[in-house]
Structure 1
Amino acid sequence: MPANATAPPRTDLNEYEDYARLGALLTLQQPRTDAPAELSFLVVTQIMELYFTLLRHEWESARDVLTRPGADVHRAVRTLRRAHGAQDALLASWEALRTLTPAEFDEFRDAFGVASGIQSYQYRHIEFLLGARHPRALAVHEQTPRIHAELAAQAAAPSLYDAALKLLRGRGFAVPEGLAERDPRTEYQGDDRLVAVWRAVYCDQPRHGDLADLGDALFDTAERHVRWKQRHLLSVWRSMGDKPGSAGTSGAQWLERGVHRKYFPDLWTVRDQGWA
């Protein structure tokens, strides 16, 4: 073939199927009823679990970068921003369920019994990475020892924000040692001293531009997650109102308690003060 000739396209379609594992992937959608809307519900549920898995990977990667000596902050920020695309797609997944009516949902709801999103261990991983360390969160998974052990390890590891605090202290900011080295199994509630640190970062962006970018990337991560939870609540209200949920939850009322949660609270509070 001449050097400047264009190679013919490959026609071995099995290459794509093998790489994407389509033979396995496309056998996983097995509705339990003949209800027309159940397949949509099942596919969206599986898609969300895949995105949770991707977010866990990206956020663990960003956390690990931030905790290394001489942390490459720009790399961590790029990782978080790449994950923003996954979060946006995750948020958009609710569109496929937006038109699900109560009658359509009731046609198949009983078929999944006590199955509930509260049992999603990948979602629990990302909540832990965001710093939500509920004392009873691990109890849901006690009957699955491998998953419980993985989640316990995640709960004992620094959150994304814990990693950021260690970085700020290492860069010379007045982060109290008790906060930078605190037990990550306890939930961080925010601290005015850290609000002052972030304001110092934002007020001197010529010197601390990478840290300001990190603060913005973390805030955008938190804000997207809050919006996803809000869309979840709206979807539940639309499809089942305030009826009790699965797995013993109170349904929409249980979800409603968490939709105003501010992950990485100092980054929200600093916006009360603003910066020049």
Structure 2
Amino acid sequence: MSCPYSINPNQSASISNHRDVEESIHTDFKDDMSYGDYLNLEKVLSAQHPLSDQHDEMLFIVIHQASELWIKLAGHELTEAISNIKNGDFGHAFKVISRVKQILGQLTQSWGILSTLTPVDYLKFRDTLGHSSGFQSYGYRKIEFLLGNKNAQLLKVHENDPSVHQELNTILNQPSLYDEALLALKSHGLPVDDSVIHRDFSQPYQHNDSVLQAWLTVYQNAEHYFHLYELAEKLVDIEDSFQQWRFKHMYTVQRIIGNKIGTGGSSGVSFLKKALDISFFPELFELRTQL
């Protein structure tokens, strides 16, 4: 097949740079649902309300709004993955976990766009943000809780919205993605301590030797425990992608505001760096040393 962009100079004059609208394409939507209707675009695209007259504030708003939509989808998929693993549907769990990995990649890339915002231009409208901060994102908090980074103190910032507070409190007290993975280990006959299986799920997960040994058994007998082995690698994918997102977030903030205090009152970059030390699935990384 010849290249569609390869044009004989002698023919260029006779080629039209125009595409007719096919007669079969629907153009009348007086009584029919359109693309904009289905996606509620009138609301979505009219939700940007800059509080200053600075050109770059629109960039700041759109990046964060778009990120919240991706975060919402990630939470939707993680909830499904937890349900899948609980019901033994590993195939679908792998599909949605792989999707979450791609979503996190998309979120990581968005920091690259935001980093085109220079420190001088950001300072022109930063004060208009007041105390609003990404730390207050309940979508992000939901993802953290679903992955197992539980911290009841983080609910306080959401007390002003009862429905959000209730949803997060419910997730806080339910098994996380990793908790369900450990329950799956136990159901497959691997000796995981009862203290892990019957723990208070509202508390942050702590490393456990029996879990490490169970995962080692899975990796050393990967063909026999293939679903569990594949699940473990999918979880590592998630943590890998999440940490890249965390790092890019921290680095973008450092690039734009240096070591200033965050708008929400945190220490800023130093607070974000601490998150890099938190692992959702600690045994899955330690076992690599033990193999």
Q: Could you give the per-residue CA deviations for residues 189-212 of structure 1, whole angstroms, max 9, x where no partner exists?
A: 211221111111111121111111
More helix by share: 1
Q: Is the 8 A contact 2:212 2:287 kept in 1?
A: yes
Q: Is the 8 A contact 1:48 1:90 kept in 2?
A: yes
In 2: Cα distance, 1:263 partner to 1:226 partner: 10
Which segment is superposed worse, 13-22 or 175-184? Answer: 13-22
Which segment is superposed worse, 9-18 or 91-100? Answer: 9-18
TM normalised by structure 2 equals: 0.88
Q: Could you give the per-residue CA deviations for residues 166-202 of structure 1, whole angstroms, max 9, x where no partner exists?
A: 1110111111122112110111121122111111111
Q: Could you give the per-residue CA deviations for residues 130-162 of structure 1, whole angstroms, max 9, x where no partner exists?
A: 111123111111222211111100100110000
Which segment is superposed worse, 152-161 or 262-271? Answer: 262-271
After TM superposition, give the deviation of residue 67 of structure 1 in Å: 1.2
Q: Is the 8 A contact 2:129 2:263 kept in 1?
A: no
Spell out the pairing of 1:29-68 with structure 2 (5 A cutoff).
29-68=48-87
Residue of 202, 206, 221 corresponding to 2:219: 202
Work out which of the two has the higher radius of gyration on C-alpha atoms and give 1 or 2: 2
Please name the residue that 1:9 is paired with. Answer: 25
Q: Is the 8 A contact 2:59 2:114 kept in 1?
A: yes
After TM superposition, give the deviation of residue 10 of structure 1 in Å: 2.7
**What is the total number of aligned residue pairs between the two structures?**
267
Please name the residue that 1:175 is paired with. Answer: 192
Please name the residue that 1:81 is paired with. Answer: 98
Which segment is superposed worse, 219-228 or 140-149? Answer: 140-149
Spell out the pairing of 1:183-262 with structure 2 (5 A cutoff).
183-262=200-279
In 1: Cα distance, 2:53 partner to 2:204 partner: 44
In 2: Cα distance, 1:136 partner to 1:83 partner: 26
Any unmatched runs of 5+ in structure 1? 1-5
TM normalised by structure 1 equals: 0.93
State the AA in 2 paired with 1:196.
Q
Residue of 149, 155, 169 corresponding to 1:152: 169
Residue of 26, 37, 43 corresponding to 1:24: 43
Q: Is the 8 A contact 2:215 2:284 kept in 1?
A: yes
In 2: Cα distance, 1:173 partner to 1:10 partner: 58
Q: Is the 8 A contact 1:128 1:155 kept in 2?
A: yes
Is 2:281 the counterpart of 1:264? yes
Q: Is the 8 A contact 1:226 1:261 kept in 2?
A: no
Overall identity of the aligned pairs, in %: 35
Please name the residue that 1:101 is paired with. Answer: 118
After TM superposition, give the deviation of residue 12 of structure 1 in Å: 4.5
In 2: Cα distance, 1:95 partner to 1:129 partner: 26
State the AA in 2 paired with 1:181.
H
Which segment is superposed worse, 76-85 or 54-63? Answer: 76-85
Q: Is the 8 A contact 1:131 1:159 kept in 2?
A: yes
In 1: Cα distance, 2:260 partner to 2:84 partner: 44
Compute the RMSD of aligned alpha carbons. 1.5
In 2: Cα distance, 1:248 partner to 1:234 partner: 18
Which segment is superposed worse, 111-120 or 143-152? Answer: 143-152
